[in-house]
Structure 1
């Protein structure tokens, strides 16, 4: 499965990765590569738990561009 993830840096320089299609699915790392590896593992774990609990695997998300 393919998922869209976000990558951001916090004020301490830690990379935060999140999968918006799976509520609560977040990871972090010292660099982008660590954050991406972590979110891959987190996605697999979140999907497994959601399936075991009979929850929907994902929620609908949409990306739009906004001009300010």
Structure 2
């Protein structure tokens, strides 16, 4: 059986600290990964998202897509 490929537009958040890189997709609960470098974490989160989407499609779940996202950081003095 032939399945048509589909593309999904999802956001990915990447954080970096002294222990490495961490990435997650806010639209996909529980979909996250890590890596020692930015390139590694991006490859890992892409694989994690791919597997997560395959599972959602198989389960006939609705896959949320975004139009845009805005993310910034700020300092807060307390």
**Which interval holds the TM-score relative to the shorter structure?**
0.7 to 0.9
1:7-46 to 2 correspondence within 5 Å?
A: 7-10=14-17, 12-46=18-52
1:55-66 to 2 correspondence within 5 Å?
A: 55-58=61-64, 63=69
Q: How many pairs does the alignment contain?
A: 67
Secondary structure of the corresponding residue to residue 7 of structure 1: strand
Q: Which runs of 5+ in 1 are unaligned?
A: none
Structure possessing the higher radius of gyration over alpha carbons = 2
Say if 1:65 and 1:13 are closer, same or farther in 2 by CA, change over 3 A.
closer
User: Deviating runs (4+, > 2 A) in structure 1?
Assistant: 62-68
Name the Cα RMSD after superposition: 2.6
How high is the TM-score relative to the length of structure 1? 0.74
